């Protein structure tokens, strides 16, 4: 594991310290680690290569600006411009942009323009979140399900989704 990944892991865990996952109560950063592990597994098993360090670092930090006091400038200082750019694409628009539906529309529009690496991270972020939402919040699951379907369309990554067809079909 490269120094960039280890640095992102330590800093991300520190920034998310004390946060808990909504439905499971586990430490929030376990979600970021699970996304990074899924991305690494995808690169290794499907693409037959190691995921670039910048991609794994971005997966570990994908929620750090959205859910902590971290800024994009801090991410740049900690992990470099490429990781900060990826994290920017992975950070949802703030509430002043509009209601939830408006924010999702805006988010999907810029995810559609994101680099492929970002789209892969976002896919595994959604996939990891879907499991706990479906299990613990059936009422919200219907909203999340529809949003996820629309996001998958915006991501337009059939080379990824075909390997996870069970997840896609379950939506």
Interatomic CA distance for residues 160 and 56, integer angstroms: 17
Q: 40-83: per-residue pLDDT in tens?
A: 999 999 999 999 999 999 999 999 999 999 999 999 999 999 99
Look at the block and give the residue holding tokens 């991305």: 39
Delimit the domains of the chain by residue range: 3-169
Q: What pTM was estimated for this model as a whole?
A: 0.96
Q: 133-157: per-residue pLDDT in tens?
A: 999 999 999 999 999 999 999 999 9
Q: 75-116: per-residue pLDDT in tens?
A: 999 999 999 999 999 999 988 989 999 999 999 999 999 999
Does the pLDDT at position 27 exceed 90?
Answer: yes
Q: Which CATH number fits domain 3-169: 1.10.760.10, 3.90.950.10, 1.20.120.1730, 1.10.3210.10?
A: 1.10.3210.10
Instruction: Give pLDDT, residue 171.
Output: 87
Interatomic CA distance for residues 126 and 85, integer angstroms: 19
**Helix, strand or coil, per DSSP, at residue 16:** coil
Query: Residue 27 is encoded by which pair of tokens?
Result: 């430490």
Does the pLDDT at position 30 exceed 90?
Answer: yes
Q: What letters, b where the CB count within 10 A reaches 16 and e where it falls short, cover 48-74?
A: eeebebbbbbbbbbbbbbebbebeeeb
């Amino acid at each position: 594991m490269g120094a960039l990944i280890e640095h992102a892991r330590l800093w991300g865990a520190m920034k998310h310290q004390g946060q808990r996952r909504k439905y499971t109560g586990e430490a929030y950063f376990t979600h970021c680690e699970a996304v990074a592990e899924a991305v690494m597994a995808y690169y290794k098993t499907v693409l037959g290569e190691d995921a670039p360090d910048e991609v794994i670092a971005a997966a570990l930090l994908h929620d750090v600006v959205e859910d902590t006091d971290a800024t994009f400038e801090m991410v740049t200082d900690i992990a470099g411009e490429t990781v900060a750019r990826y994290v920017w694409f992975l950070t949802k628009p703030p509430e002043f942009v509009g209601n939830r539906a408006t924010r999702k529309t805006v988010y999907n529009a810029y995810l559609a323009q994101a680099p492929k690496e970002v789209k892969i991270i976002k896919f595994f972020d959604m996939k990891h979140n879907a499991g706990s939402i479906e299990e613990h919040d059936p009422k919200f699951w219907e909203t999340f399900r529809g949003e996820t379907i629309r996001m998958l369309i915006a991501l337009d990554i059939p080379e990824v989704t075909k390997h996870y067809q069970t997840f896609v079909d379950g939506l």
